[in-house]
Amino acid sequence: MSTEDLDAWGATLQVCFACALDDRADTTRVLDNRAATTSNTHIPTAASATRAAALLLNHLGVPADAPAVLAFVNDALL
């Protein structure tokens, strides 16, 4: 993904969290779902995966509640 794509992805992630908070949904589940979807569609060792992992980690409160986030970050950083 290009820098512009990652910026748009990050902005979309912010909107997803805002909507989840408005609906009183669990934002950790939203985060984990996003990580699972992203890991299925992108090469985890690509440079953009590291930035996407950083964006996801910025929103992670309790790591044990989001196993897909941790798996995605692990794959991106290895």
Query: How many structural domains does the chain have?
Result: 1
pLDDT tens by residue, the chain, 78 residues: 677 887 888 888 888 888 888 888 877 788 888 778 877 776 666 777 777 777 777 776 655 567 777 778 778 776
How crowded is residue 61: how many other Cβ atoms within 10 Å of its Cβ? Answer: 9
Range of the structural domain that residue 36 is part of: 3-77
Closest alpha carbon to 58 in 14, 4, 7: 14
